[in-house]
Amino acid sequence: MLDYAQLCTAAREAVFLASAVCREVQASLDELKAITKDDKSPVTVADFAAQAIVAKVLSDQLGEDVILVGEEDSKWLRQEEHATHRQATLAAVQAVWEDATEKDMLDAIDIGAGDTHHAGYWTLDPVDGTKGFLRNQQYAIALAYVERGTPVVGVMGCPNLPSDFSAPLDVPDPHGCLYAAIKGDGVYAHPADDAGEKPIEIRRLDHVEGEPISVCASVEKAHSNVNDTDRILEYLAERGTPSREPTRLDSQAKYAVTGRGQADAYLRLPTRPGYVERIWDHAAGSLVATEAGCFVTDIFGNALDFSHGRGLEKNKGVICAPPRVHGLVIGAIEALGIGANT
């Protein structure tokens, strides 16, 4: 039987170091853009560097047979025309892996080319929320271990997310948050910049009847069907559950914000027929929110099924909310016929 605590310890160190690398890259956004002549280069560098670091730490702590399903491979970075990006990525990696060579880095990135045809595997989104990263706002490093179609360990670094609920979400926090969850054992919050700080267990209360709800929404409106979200909120308001102004931020950090009670629901509604969510966009965040006390399902109330390759092929959309709000939202979706033609 796998030692989930050991897996979580390795994942926490991996994400902690990847968060540090991403902070360094984000601190030099303008410099990187000037060097590479590419406005998106900082997030490209951070993506590759974070994946290399996560793969390196998991391999060192858990053995060379680690199966990692990541978003990136090194093919693009190996091309000579991208030598400037490659050098910048190596410099970022060496901030925490001092003796890394180009070959070490590229080989580590390619550990993430694993497949899902295993009883258990890791899945990683090295920088989730690319536009938030480029705006110097919210993004996440999301790592999860999936066993037989279910995330059982999830660690999510949110380097700019304040632990103080009253702090603005559009201003980077100097410490950030890191969330670590084991299925059935709860979720714990750590500062993203201090691995030795004592963690705090996160447990949200259920919604109280009559209180308004706040939806956690993307800054990028293309990520969810905003019209359908408005229809759901109008339907609930007509039946006695008003809504507040939405909480807007990028990335899987929305799962953490909902799980810790700063918002009451995260709705990711289908934007077009046939769209399939990616496993790395939800594995870590969904476990963090579930262990905090939320329900996480698709828009029809089905559990998210991670056993069909790199996509959530059997699911449509995602609803994350504490039990009472989840029931209200699922009921509204059914009544309004949302998703019936997607």
Q: Do both 54 and 154 map to the same domain?
A: yes
pTM score, whole prediction: 0.95
Give residue 223's pLDDT. 54
Is 222's pLDDT higher than 60? no
pLDDT score of 136: 92
Q: Could you tell me if residue 208 is inside a domain?
A: no
Pairwise CA distance, residues 69 & 112, whole Å: 5
Q: Does residue 188 register a pLDDT over 60?
A: yes
341 located within any domain: no
Quick count: other Cβ atoms within 10 Å of Cβ 291?
A: 24
Looking at the structure, tell me whether residues 158 and 238 fall in a common domain.
no
* Residue 326 predicted with pLDDT over 90: yes
Give the residue from 164, 181, 202 where a domain finishes: 202
Q: Based on the fold, state whether residues 164 and 238 are members of the same structural domain.
A: no
The CATH number linked to 84 is: 3.30.540.10
Count: domains in the chain: 2
Which entry of 36, 44, 47, 193 is annotated as an active-site residue? 47
Average pLDDT over residues 89-109: 97
Residue 241 falls inside a structural domain: yes
- Residue 278 carries which DSSP code? B
In sequence order, what are the beta bridge partners of 182? 153, 186
Q: Is residue 116 part of a domain?
A: yes
Q: What is the pLDDT of residue 325?
A: 98
Q: Which of 202, 232, 250 is the last residue of a domain?
A: 202
* Least confident stretch, 171-175, 214-218, 330-334: 214-218
Residues 310 and 243 in one domain: yes
196: containing domain: 4-202
Answer yes or no: is 302 within a domain. Answer: yes
Between 299 and 339, name the one with better pLDDT. Answer: 299
Which 3 state secondary structure label does DSSP give 256?
Answer: helix
Find the CATH number of the domain harbouring 290.
Answer: 3.40.190.80
Q: Is 229 a catalytic residue?
A: no
Whether 130 is catalytic? yes
Q: Tens of pLDDT along 223-249? A: 566 799 999 999 999 999 999 999 999
* Residue 221 scores a pLDDT above 80: no
Residues 219 and 189 reside in one and the same domain: no
Asked if 180 and 154 touch (Cβ cutoff 8 Å), the reply is yes
In a domain, 210, yes or no: no
Q: Is residue 239 part of a domain?
A: yes
Same domain, 54 and 153: yes
Supply the DSSP string of 91-140, one letter for each residue. Answer: HHHTTTSTT--HHHHHHHHHTTB--S-SSEEEEEEEEE-HHHHHTTS--E
User: 342 lies in a domain?
Assistant: no
Amino acid, res. 35: I
**Which of 36, 44, 89, 130 is flagged as catalytic?**
130
- pLDDT tens-digit profile of 10-44? 999 999 999 999 999 999 988 888 888 788 889 99
